[in-house]
Amino acid sequence: MTRGRHHGGCMRVQRSWTTGVLVGAIALATGGWLINQSGAASGGESRRLLDEIHRLISARFVDEIPPEELYRMAIDGMLENLGDPYTTFLEPRDSEDLRLTTTGNYGGLGVRIDVKDGWITVVQVLPSSPALREGLEVGDRIIEVEGESAEGWSVDKAVDTLRGEKGAPVNITIARVGVDRPLAIRIVRDVIQVAQAQGFVLDGDIGYVTLRGFSREAKEELVATLDRLVDEGAGGLILDLRRNPGGLLPAGIDVTDLFLERGTPVVETRSRLDEQNYLFRASSEDRYADVPIVVVVDGLSASASEIVAGALQDHDRAVVVGTTTFGKGSVQTLYGLSGNNSMKVTTARWYTPAGRSITRDFDRESALRDLAASAVAISGEPIAAATELEDREEFTTAGGRTVYGGGGITPDLIVYRDTLSTEEQELRRLATRSGAIPRNVVFRWAVEYSNEHDFNEGFSVTQAMREEVWTALAEAGAEVERELFDQSQTYVDWLIADELAGAEFGEVPQLRSRAVRDAQIKVAMDLLREADSPEALLTVAARAAEEQGAEGTRSDEPAGDR
C-alpha cells in the first residue's frame, strides 16, 4: 500500500479520512533535506569511505565500469540488505507505471493487448474509447505502427509506443479476421479511465462486483456500481477482491468506510515516525447497512484488499470466503528524487481493528516458489500455498469469533476454486512445451467463430465446438493425444466459454460467464440465499464452517483435485 505524503499528528490520533492527492513526487528539496539530515547526524565518515571505494573501483578494477553503474550497484545492494521487498528504487518508467496504477488513467487508445502468435493483438476494447470510436475489434492484430512493423513486439514496447499525450494521433495498420487486406486506421489519443469496478446481478437478487485495484477513483466507481445493483434488486452482495493487489491506503480506507458505522475503527498504522501513527475511523454511516455481504479473496489479494477484508471481518460486517490472502501489512511512502526517479520506502505497518498484523514472513522468491508448487485453478492460475493455522496468534472479533494474525487474512470459510485434474495439467504442459499454448489457439478460434456464428450470452459449449478447437490445436502443432484432450473436458469447456464470451460480448459478459462457473462464487451465492440480513449471514457461515470442520477440511490446504 502506498502513501504519497506524510501527515502531521501524534500517537494513536483518531480521525476520519478525507481522500486527497496522495501519490506524487515529494518536493526534491524535501527529499534532499531528509537525506542530508541523516548524513550529517551519523553518516559523514561512512559516506567518505563509500566515495573512496567508488573512486578506487572506477580507477583500478580490471574491467571498466561506468560510474553511474557503480552507484546503481550501491543502491541495489543497500536496498537488498534491508530485507524488505517493498522498499524499492523507481526509475522514471517505473514511476510512471506506479502513477498509472494509482490514478487509473493514462493517455492512449483504450485497448487491452497481448502477444498472440507473435503479434500484438487486441483482447479488449474499452467502452467510450478512441479505439471503439475508430472501430477496433477484439482479435485485431496490430501489424504496423507509424509504418514500422510490429512483428515480434513485446507488450511493453507496444504500450510505450501506443500511449501518449491526449490529442496526439497515431497511425496503425491492423489485420482482421475475415478481411483479406490490412486496414489502416488513424486514432487520436485521449485520456483513458480504466474501470476499477464492474458488477452485475446474479440469480435475480445477488449483486456481484469485482474491484481490480484501489486507485483514487475506486470508491466512487464502487458506489456507483453497488447502488445500481441494489436498484436492480440485489438483496445480498458479493465483493470480489481476488487478484486485487491493493493500491492507495486512503482508497482502502474509503472503500471500507462504505460498510461501517461512523466512528468505527478501520485500520491503524504504526511507525517509528510520530506523524505516521494513526487510527483511522469510518467517517460516514454504513451505506448498505441492511445488506449481507460476502467478501471473496485469494492468495493474490493484498494490501488495501486485506484492509477491507480484515476490517469487515473484525467487525462481523461481512463473511470472508476463499483462500488465505497474500499477507502485505505494510505502508509505503513515495519520495521524489532527482532525474525523475523516485523511491518507495516502507514507513509503517498497519493493523486491523482487532489488533492483527497480517504480514507474512517470506521473501519474494520463496513466495513465487510457493505459488509454483501449489494447486492450479481451472483458469490455469496457481492457487497460493497453504497457510497453517496452528502457530498463528488468535484474535477475537467484535462478536466473539476467532480470527488469526500473521500470514494474511484467513477466510471464515475456506473454499478453493475448482482445480485442474492431473490430465488437464498435463494438457497445458504438453501444449505449452510444443509451442502451441492452448489459450492463444482458443482465442484465435473464438474470434473466428464469433464472426461466423450468432449466439446469445447463455450459450452452452457443444461437442461441435470441442471438435473445432481440437482441429485448431492439431493444426497449431500441439503434441497432444486425443485421449488426453477428451479427458480434459472441464478445462477445455472453461477455455471455450471464456474466450467466446470475451470475443463476442465483451468484458462484463465474460466476467459473468466466469462467475457462474466459479466454485467460490457459487458458495458465496449459497450463503446469501439463506441469509436476509448481515446477522443471519454470520449464522449461516458459522454453520457451514462447522460442517466443513466436521469433514476435516478446515485447515487451509487443498483437498486434492476438485
- Report the catalytic residues: 303, 314, 328
Backbone angles phi, psi at 347, to 5 degrees: -115, -10
- Give the DSSP H/E element, type plus range, for residue 23: none
Q: Residues 260, 286: contact at Cβ < 8 Å?
A: yes
CA 138 – CA 126 distance, rounded (Å): 10
Instruction: Name the DSSP letter for residue 187.
Output: E
Residue 111 cell numbers, joined = 485497448
Nearest Cα neighbor of 223 from 267, 284, 281, 279 is: 284
CA 66 – CA 48 distance, rounded (Å): 20
Q: Residues 246, 331: contact at Cβ < 8 Å?
A: no
Question: Would you call 148 helix, strand, or coil by DSSP?
Answer: strand
CA 387 – CA 370 distance, rounded (Å): 11
Cα torsion 325, 104, 156, 111: sign: positive
Backbone angles phi, psi at 259, to 5 degrees: -115, 10
CA end-to-end span of the chain = 34
Alpha helix ranges (H) inside 234-357:
249-257, 304-314
Question: Would you call 175 helix, strand, or coil by DSSP?
Answer: strand
Q: Residues 266, 274: contact at Cβ < 8 Å?
A: no
CA 90 – CA 460 distance, rounded (Å): 47
HSE on the CB side for 461, CA within 13 Å? 21
Residue 496 cell numbers, joined = 471455450
CA 151 – CA 4 distance, rounded (Å): 39
> Taking CA 469 as the corner, what is the angle to CA 467 and CA 470, rounded to the nearest 5 degrees?
65
CA 393 – CA 228 distance, rounded (Å): 40
Burial of 144 (0-12, 13-18, 19+ CB in 10 A): middle
The answer for residues whose C-beta is within 8 angstroms of residue 412's C-beta and 6 or more apart is 313, 319, 320, 321, 401, 541, 542, 545
CA 278 – CA 275 distance, rounded (Å): 8
CA 559 – CA 562 distance, rounded (Å): 8
The residue with cell 445493483 is 229
The answer for residues whose C-beta is within 8 angstroms of residue 115's C-beta and 6 or more apart is 121, 153, 154, 155
